[in-house]
Amino acid sequence: MSTRFVFDDPKYTALAAESADKYAQGSPFPHIAFDNFLPEDVAEAVLSEFPKPGDIDWHNYNRQTEIKLVCADETKFGPVTRNLFYQLHSLPFLRFLEKVTGIPNLIPDPALRGGGLHQIRKGGLLKLHADFNHHDATFLDRRVNILLYLNKDWKEEYGGHLELWNKDTSFCGDKILPVFNRLAIFSTTSESFHGHPDPLNCPEDMTRKSLALYYYSNGRPKGEADGIHTTIFKARPTEEFKGVLWRMGQDFAPPILWRTARRVRERYFSGTIQKRG
């Protein structure tokens, strides 16, 4: 079992310094992807611990906008995985992240709100969206997402690319294949639309595996301020996604608010949804 500390290696300091300009110039919004990010033995150990769909009690999202499995309960993580999450919340990694992104004083979220282990089976998807922009408990501003992919022998034809789109979804600036030990980092605003909107086409015995962590700050630049909102889903030009932006608050809004919203949706939109399905 690998328990050594990863981010005290000077190579990460050098990597951050040489990557800051590339990150800032990312299109359509600041982002970057690093291959072979973790030491090989650490990445292999985390993959070996990654639970299968039937191994633990996953939170199962199964709706029009997203079909995925999520676990944010660290007691269900293997020992190496749990140690890695702690390191990704540590000061050395925060300093790395701040140098790459240019965002000072980043704050981790040990509660893994919306993050943790993510797993998607064949046919699963995650429509284009801009993430919720305030933490519901700390009220901090969400600034950065990181996604560590753990998919060996992943082929282009399987899909599952992380797609990055501009604010009016007229342009896809980048598509990142979720291959093993690749780390994607991007800035999160109300206009940073991303996802993997096409159903996965991988073999039945494979899944798209990732670790997801989000980072916050106390306030954000005025130009990025857009009130407090939950996740905003948006269509690509080729999609028949009718109606106004779909705002998802199941994981963010008070339960009574969502029960009311769900009743309204079922009453007025159930027929439309059934026709599409």
Domain count, the chain: 1
User: pLDDT tens for residues 224-276?
Assistant: 888 899 999 999 988 854 444 444 443 444 444 545 544 554 454 433 333 22
Would you say residue 184 lies in a domain?
yes
pLDDT interval class at 3 (50, 70, 90): low
Would you say residue 244 lies in a domain?
no
Structure confidence at residue 2 (pLDDT):
58
Structure confidence at residue 239 (pLDDT):
81
Least Cα distance to 189 among 213, 163, 158, 166 occurs for 166
Least Cα distance to 154 among 208, 117, 212 occurs for 208
Mean pLDDT of the chain: 88
Asked whether 171 and 28 are in contact (CB, 8 A), the reply is yes
Residue 13 clears pLDDT 50, i.e. is over it = yes
- What own/partner pairs with CB < 8 Å and gap ≥ 24 does 98-101 have? 99/13, 99/16, 99/17, 99/20, 100/16, 100/19, 100/20, 100/23, 100/32, 100/185, 101/20, 101/23, 101/30, 101/143, 101/144, 101/185, 101/187
Structure confidence at residue 275 (pLDDT):
29
Would you say residue 143 lies in a domain?
yes
Residue 83 clears pLDDT 60, i.e. is over it = yes
Asked whether 159 and 208 are in contact (CB, 8 A), the reply is no
pTM of the model: 0.85
Structure tokens belonging to residue 273: 């949804």
Mean of pLDDT values over 64-68: 95
User: pLDDT tens for residues 155-210?
Assistant: 999 999 999 999 999 999 999 999 999 999 999 999 999 999 999 999 999 999 99
Structure confidence at residue 247 (pLDDT):
42
Percent of the chain, pLDDT > 70? 85
Least Cα distance to 95 among 106, 108, 110, 109 occurs for 106
Angle formed at CA 95 by CA 146 and CA 193, multiple of 5 degrees:
25
Would you say residue 1 lies in a domain?
no
Residue 139, phi then psi, degrees to nearest 5? 65, 20
User: pLDDT tens for residues 262-271?
Assistant: 455 445 443 3
26: domain range?
A: 10-237
Would you say residue 266 lies in a domain?
no
Mean of pLDDT values over 216-224: 93
Residue 103 clears pLDDT 60, i.e. is over it = yes
Residue 119 clears pLDDT 70, i.e. is over it = yes
Structure confidence at residue 143 (pLDDT):
97
Would you say residue 81 lies in a domain?
yes
42: CATH:
2.60.120.620
Would you say residue 17 lies in a domain?
yes
d(CA 78, CA 147): 18
Least Cα distance to 185 among 129, 126, 145 occurs for 145
Would you say residue 5 lies in a domain?
no
